[in-house]
Amino acid sequence: MREQRSPPAGAHGGHAPPRHVGVIMDGNGRWAATRGLPRIEGHRRGLEALRRTVRAAGDLGIEHLTVYSFSSENWRRPAQEVADLMGLLKRFIRNDLADLHRNGVRVRVIGSRDDLSSDIRTLLVEAEELTRANTNMTLHVAFNYGSRQEIAVAARRLAEDVVAGRIDPAEIDEKALEARLYTAGAPDPDLIIRTSGEERLSNFLLWQAAYSEFVFLPVHWPDFDASALAEALSIYMNRQRRFGGLGPAATAGNAMTGS
Ligand code: FPP
């Protein structure tokens, strides 16, 4: 997924806008609970927040937006809630695909397709095929996604390539593994936002987030909007990114380990 090995623009100064933003859309259930509404209502409003966010990200020139919409662990939820989330994915693709395409958004769906119904699998392929050549922004929808599973699958693909003689084990490096992740070809996320006040990655982009900045906002996802996105970007742009090197503070002789 990584395109750069040396610090990109914005390293040391931290003022370049992010090319790639990942979002953990959390707090739908709590949003609904505080209003005495069923959880599905929180997810429905969450879908509206997702639409707003895609538009706002496009307006801000973000090239890649990755949204965590169903984790491989979400199957543990009650069957009705799982069915509701599947229904919302279908609704999103059916209702919004034409609009996304008109706005030059490429849609990629990352995650395992194995457990998805055949109508959903067909819709996902249709969305990816229709928007394949779009270049304004790429929306990566993480659905039935789990980062450990993604890395394990990449390792399996490498093993298969070794057995088939396509790659020598001595050639296996970070790039070889990255090329086999669901996110192959996209830059690493510069910024990962999580809403609802929780502060963890929950199996989201573990490999890709090695040097991401994290911004945790107290707002529940259904209330997320363009101004919340702008706030997260402003926090990000005031951060100093060092990518393991030394920041300007080193010149003053007080740098720590550079991380
Ligand atoms: C986390 O909130 C959110 C989810 C598990 C689902 C996210 C789904 C959407 C934003 C809308 C649907 C969009 C698509 C494309 C399917 P939570 O339910 O864990 O909230 P809680 O922690 O407050 O209970």
Domain of 58, CATH number, reads 3.40.1180.10
Question: To test ligand 1's pocket by mutation, which of 221, 223, 224, 225 has the most ligand atoms within 8 angstroms of CB?
Answer: 221
pLDDT-based confidence at residue 15 (cuts at 50, 70, 90) = low
Kindly state whether residue 171 falls inside one of the protein's structural domains: no
**pLDDT at 242 exceeding the cut of 90:** no
Kindly state whether residue 79 falls inside one of the protein's structural domains: yes
pLDDT for res 248: 65
pLDDT-based confidence at residue 238 (cuts at 50, 70, 90) = very high
Residue type, 175: K
Gap between the Cα atoms of 180 and 157, Å rounded: 7
Kindly state whether residue 47 falls inside one of the protein's structural domains: yes
Kindly state whether residue 4 falls inside one of the protein's structural domains: no
Kindly state whether residue 25 falls inside one of the protein's structural domains: yes
CA-proximal residue: ligand 1, atom 10 (nearest): 46
Q: How many structural domains compose the chain?
A: 1
Query: Over the chain, what HEC string results?
Result: CCCCCCCCCCECCCCCCCCEEEEECCCHHHHHHCCCCCHHHHHHHHHHHHHHHHHHHHHCCCCEEEEEEEECCHHHCCHHHHHHHHHHHHHHHHHHHHHHHHCCEEEEEECCCCCCCHHHHHHHHHHHHHHCCCCCEEEEEEEEECHHHHHHHHHHHHHHHHHCCCCCHHHCCHHHHHCCCCCCCCCCCCEEEECCCCCCCCCCCCCCCCCCEEEECCCCHHHCCHHHHHHHHHHHHCCCECCCCCCHHHHHCCCCCCC
Residue 118 lies in domain: 20-145+188-240
Kindly state whether residue 178 falls inside one of the protein's structural domains: no
Question: To test ligand 1's pocket by mutation, which of 23, 28, 45, 200 has the most ligand atoms within 8 angstroms of CB?
Answer: 28
Nearest ligand 1 atom to alpha carbon 42: 18
pLDDT-based confidence at residue 13 (cuts at 50, 70, 90) = low
Cβ-contact 239, 213 below 8 angstroms = yes
Kindly state whether residue 54 falls inside one of the protein's structural domains: yes
To the nearest 10°, report the CA torsion of 246, 249, 252, 254: -80
Kindly state whether residue 104 falls inside one of the protein's structural domains: yes
Compute the half-sphere exposure of residue 197: CA atoms within 13 Å on the CB side of its CA: 5
Cα of 235 from ligand 1 centre, angstroms = 24
pLDDT-based confidence at residue 119 (cuts at 50, 70, 90) = very high
Q: Which residues are the active-site residues?
A: 26, 74
